[in-house]
Structure 1
Amino acid sequence: MNIILLSGGSGKRLWPLSNDIRSKQFIKIFKESDGSYESMAQRMYRSIKKIDAEAKVTVATSKAQVSTIHNQLGEDVGVSVEPCRRDTFPAIALATAYLHDVLHVGEDEAVVVCPVDPYVDDDYFAALKKLAELAEKGDANLTLLGMEPTYPSEKYGYIIPESKDPVSRVSRFKEKPDEETAKKYIAEGALWNGGIFAYKLGYVLKRAHELIDFKDYDDLYEHYGDYTKISFDYAVVEKEPSIQVLRFDGLWKDLGTWNTLTEAMSEKIVGKGEMSDSCDNVHIVNDLDVPVLAIGVKDVVISASPEGILVSDKTESSYIKPFVDKMKQPVMFAEKSWGTYLVLDVEKESMTIKVTLHAGNAMNYHSHDHRDEVWTVISGIGRTVVDGMIQYVKTGDVVTMQAGCRHTIIADSELQLIEVQIGKEISVHDKHKYKLEI
């Protein structure tokens, strides 16, 4: 199978565990049999590989998420990077061009597109495989996965099939109606559109060329910011006469809020936490190394991370975004392909960060104009390069870099250090990168 996983999200609805870099799909909250935790993205990728070990998986995402994707899914996963946000049609067009021009996938091969973050079970992945088979057969230009609706939702599009067969032609497709109209569609036997569909690669490539002026993947990427923001549903699905739908009545949930996420959790406490027996329908999700205690509260989610602390009624938690927008806080924790960083302290003229580098990885070779830096190695071994001079470092060693000097550190084992930035102007934009030659 060729699968495109759409990975977007602003990281606001599940604050403080999520941010612009670590969106909800990367939060490690689902407990495995060995006691470890995995994220929605890891769960999705693992399950795809379980049903098809040879599946070619490409994640369509923003530049900010690339390091986290490689950190969690490894280096073998394909990544189609959006230079800027342009909604699902340009994103799918770009990823399809990436498959064709970079990975050399043929125009007659089937491609399945789905979100990276639904909460599903094995039946869902069997349905993805069936979608690919139907698309490859070619009876329709688009094959959708239709979910059996449970209520007249206004946040989903509606697929109205011609029959009640497991696979049916589609008579109409309607985007996100109001509640009364949704009730009428459901009475007609409509299915929810979950944004999961399949096609032959050449079909979407042709539609992309009809709607966007570009030559190939490189040209599309270069001019991506010039294209109109539009969803795939509006640009393609609503205008396509040749569509079929595969019915699906298995587990499928959008865990987009704290309320829905906690419903899917197998335990009430993740991280350090305690609650009294008088608590009812309470979840604690703690990303900090300090305990959280809940006594006598009901229908509440408590979440703590380096970004902040949330205490919210579960139903009210869906209204979190405007409050997060007001705070405008910098990212305090992020996973990267090389490891992680955690901001420990921010003062007027200093910032203290804990950095973890995986073995064999290194920081960029870089310099700063307006700040000095001090590294203290707290575990592991590695090598620093400061203005071309190599020095071996171990636990307890301290390295000082003045503003303007070029520097990096290479981890020969798992390596942790405390980085203290000192200066009157501390900014993520104060950084120059260089090619390292040693």
Structure 2
Amino acid sequence: MQIILLSGGSGTRLWPLSNNARSKQFLKVLRDSSGKPQSMVQRTFEGIGNAGVESDIVIATCETQVASLTDHVTGDFDLVVEPERRDTAPAIFLSCAFLCLEKNVALDETVVVMPIDTFADQDYYCKLGAIDMAVQSGCSDITLLGVEPTYPSEKFGYIVPEDLTGGEGVSKVSRFVEKPEAKVAEALIGQHALWNCGVFGFKLGYVIEMIGKYLDADSYEGIRAEYEKLPKTSFDYEVVEKAESVSVVRYSGEWRDLGTWNTLTEQMEEYSAGRVVVSGCSNTHVVNELNIPMVVSGVNDAIVVATPDGILVSDKTDSAQIKPLVNKVAEARPMHESRRWGEYKVLDQGTHESGMRSLEKILRIKAGKQLSYQLHRHRSEYWTVIDGEGEVVIDGKVTGVSPGSFIGIAPGSMHAVRALSTLSIVEVQLGSDLVEEDIERAGFYWPEG
């Protein structure tokens, strides 16, 4: 079968540890079977690998997550990078187009779509085989995986099967109920309704035919070029709820949404991380990613998090409601981001009396890696090398650099740098508009590799 893993969310409810560049699925707060730190992405790949199914994996993601995915995942997989975020329906359509038009996958082959940030038992992944069998039997257009509820949650959608006995196997779906009130949810559980966990199975041709309703393009790149024409909505609303027939495979086991600090900390084995001293606290988790000391004393049932992107102090129960508050205060740009070439961290930024803006950050470029050959229209940059050896090119002129080297780059100048050994550079930007979008790239000056 073909497995499409969806990795696109920004995890705002886990701010400031999670953001557009470093989403919750990359946080190494879990533990593997040997006790080593593990991310949700790594746990998902481990679960699929142990499921005993023959499969190829495609990850549908956005550009800001590509570097993190390649850092977290080993083995063979393909990436489908969305030109823009447009919800799950377009992401799945684009991934299916990739399978059909780039990988030449047969139209009658099973495709299973799963979130990449699931926390569940191994039995959850072992249901992949049952979904495949249901799809290939032709019993319905789409087969879902439904989770047996453990309490009447108001946060999840419910799948109501025609088989109200709660029996094993595959059942036709009678209807869907989206995030009901607690009393309604309790009544649904009495009818053996299941939580919708966002797992879909279908034959590839079913979705390929659907793409033709929106686009005339007959190539993967053509579909990607017209991506904005695809409906910006979820796969549930656009496809599942409009399907003529839907079936569901029942799963009874652990399944959790670790999307809030309250639920995530339940799986964190350590109560503190980083440069921190905790005293006289009960059920309080503290994470400090800053290189300054932190003391937390006499605070109970709370979460305290400090990162370059911000500081959060919240009661654990209230932490589920922080999203609108974060939207009011959080910076648009991530203060720390992993890239294919290495990473950067913003040290300071400000606006001065003259109206000039400044931003200082540190770049760490991996040995053998380079920044693209690029220019900026609205800013100048000044680089001071603090560690490592490398080469800088400005408008075609190459200069070797080492600790203490200083490079000035004027607006409009083409420039790049490559690291001969791991290279650390302090970068100061000056200009009227200091945004990541002020980059015009021209490939790579040095051949990659």
Q: Distance in 1 between matches of 2:19 and 2:51?
A: 31
Change (3 A) 1:318 1:325: same
Q: Deviations over 1:323-372 (max 9, x none)?
A: 11112413211111221110011133321111122222211111223433
* Deviation, structure 1 residue 75: 9.0
Q: Distance in 1 between matches of 2:307 and 2:229?
A: 37
Change (3 A) 1:313 1:418: same
Q: Deviations over 1:358-402 (max 9, x none)?
A: 222211111223433222223332222222122333334333323
Q: Distance in 1 between matches of 2:270 and 2:397?
A: 51
**Would the aligned equivalents of 1:63 and 1:81 in 2 still touch at CA under 8 Å?**
yes
Name the counterpart of 2:14: 14
Matched to 1:222, the amino acid is A
Q: 279-288 vs 397-406, which deviates more?
A: 397-406
* Deviation, structure 1 residue 154: 2.7
Q: Distance in 1 between matches of 2:7 and 2:330?
A: 22
Change (3 A) 1:295 1:328: closer
1:382 to 382, 385, 390: 390
Change (3 A) 1:272 1:136: farther
Q: Distance in 2 between matches of 1:23 and 1:358?
A: 22
Q: 426-435 vs 74-83, which deviates more?
A: 74-83
Name the counterpart of 2:428: 420
Matched to 2:323, the amino acid is K
**Would the aligned equivalents of 1:306 and 1:343 in 2 still touch at CA under 8 Å?**
yes
Change (3 A) 1:76 1:361: farther
Name the counterpart of 1:408: 416
Name the counterpart of 1:327: 329
Q: Distance in 1 between matches of 2:78 and 2:428?
A: 35
Name the counterpart of 2:354: none
**Would the aligned equivalents of 1:49 and 1:55 in 2 still touch at CA under 8 Å?**
no
Name the counterpart of 1:308: 310
1:203 to 206, 210, 216: 206
Q: Deviations over 1:222-258 (max 9, x none)?
A: 2221333332222222233433322212221101111
Is 1:346 aligned to residue 349 of structure 2?
Answer: yes
Q: Deviations over 1:34-72 (max 9, x none)?
A: 776332223323433444696422122233333333343
Q: Distance in 1 between matches of 2:346 and 2:305?
A: 18
Q: Distance in 2 between matches of 1:425 and 1:212?
A: 37
Name the counterpart of 2:196: 193
**Would the aligned equivalents of 1:379 and 1:416 in 2 still touch at CA under 8 Å?**
yes
**What is the DSSP-based 3-state SS (H/G/I as helix, E as strand, rest coil) of the residue aligned with 2:249?**
strand
**Would the aligned equivalents of 1:159 and 1:170 in 2 still touch at CA under 8 Å?**
no
* Deviation, structure 1 residue 424: 4.7
2:402 to 363, 387, 394: 394
Name the counterpart of 1:235: 238
**Would the aligned equivalents of 2:32 and 2:43 in 1 still touch at CA under 8 Å?**
no
2:379 to 371, 374, 388: 371
**What is the DSSP-based 3-state SS (H/G/I as helix, E as strand, rest coil) of the residue aligned with 2:210?**
helix
* Deviation, structure 1 residue 177: 4.6
Change (3 A) 1:252 1:377: same
Q: Deviations over 1:263-286 (max 9, x none)?
A: 11121112222211x211100122
Q: Distance in 1 between matches of 2:73 and 2:400?
A: 31
Matched to 2:305, the amino acid is S
Name the counterpart of 1:128: 128
Is 1:251 aligned to residue 254 of structure 2?
Answer: yes
**Would the aligned equivalents of 1:118 and 1:254 in 2 still touch at CA under 8 Å?**
yes
1:219 to 217, 222, 239: 222
Q: 27-36 vs 246-255, which deviates more?
A: 27-36
Gaps of at least 5 residues in structure 1 are none
1:129-148 matched pairs, under 5 angstroms: 129-148=129-148
1:287 to 289, 306, 309: 289
1:317 to 313, 316, 319: 319
Q: Distance in 1 between matches of 2:274 and 2:391?
A: 33
Is 1:176 aligned to residue 178 of structure 2?
Answer: yes
**Would the aligned equivalents of 1:167 and 1:244 in 2 still touch at CA under 8 Å?**
no
**What is the DSSP-based 3-state SS (H/G/I as helix, E as strand, rest coil) of the residue aligned with 2:127?**
helix
Aligned residue pairs: how many? Answer: 436
Q: Distance in 1 between matches of 2:9 and 2:173?
A: 32
**Would the aligned equivalents of 1:272 and 1:290 in 2 still touch at CA under 8 Å?**
yes
Change (3 A) 1:238 1:404: closer
**What is the DSSP-based 3-state SS (H/G/I as helix, E as strand, rest coil) of the residue aligned with 1:352?**
strand
Gaps of at least 5 residues in structure 2 are 352-356
Q: Distance in 2 between matches of 1:150 and 1:170?
A: 22
Name the counterpart of 1:265: 268
Matched to 1:378, the amino acid is I
Q: Distance in 1 between matches of 2:211 and 2:325?
A: 38
Q: Deviations over 1:59-99 (max 9, x none)?
A: 22233333333343369532222233332222211211111
Q: Deviations over 1:150-173 (max 9, x none)?
A: 222233222223153321222413
Q: Distance in 1 between matches of 2:318 and 2:419?
A: 45
**What is the DSSP-based 3-state SS (H/G/I as helix, E as strand, rest coil) of the residue aligned with 1:13?**
helix
**Would the aligned equivalents of 1:29 and 1:270 in 2 still touch at CA under 8 Å?**
no
* Deviation, structure 1 residue 317: 0.7
**What is the DSSP-based 3-state SS (H/G/I as helix, E as strand, rest coil) of the residue aligned with 2:284?**
strand
2:368 to 360, 381, 390: 360
Matched to 2:128, the amino acid is L
Q: Distance in 2 between matches of 1:36 and 1:362?
A: 31
* TM-score, reference length from structure 2: 0.89
**What is the DSSP-based 3-state SS (H/G/I as helix, E as strand, rest coil) of the residue aligned with 2:283?**
strand
Change (3 A) 1:389 1:121: farther
Query: Cα RMSD (Å) of the superposition?
Result: 2.4
Name the counterpart of 2:87: 87
**Would the aligned equivalents of 2:365 and 2:424 in 1 still touch at CA under 8 Å?**
yes
Q: Distance in 2 between matches of 1:67 and 1:142?
A: 33
Matched to 1:155, the amino acid is K
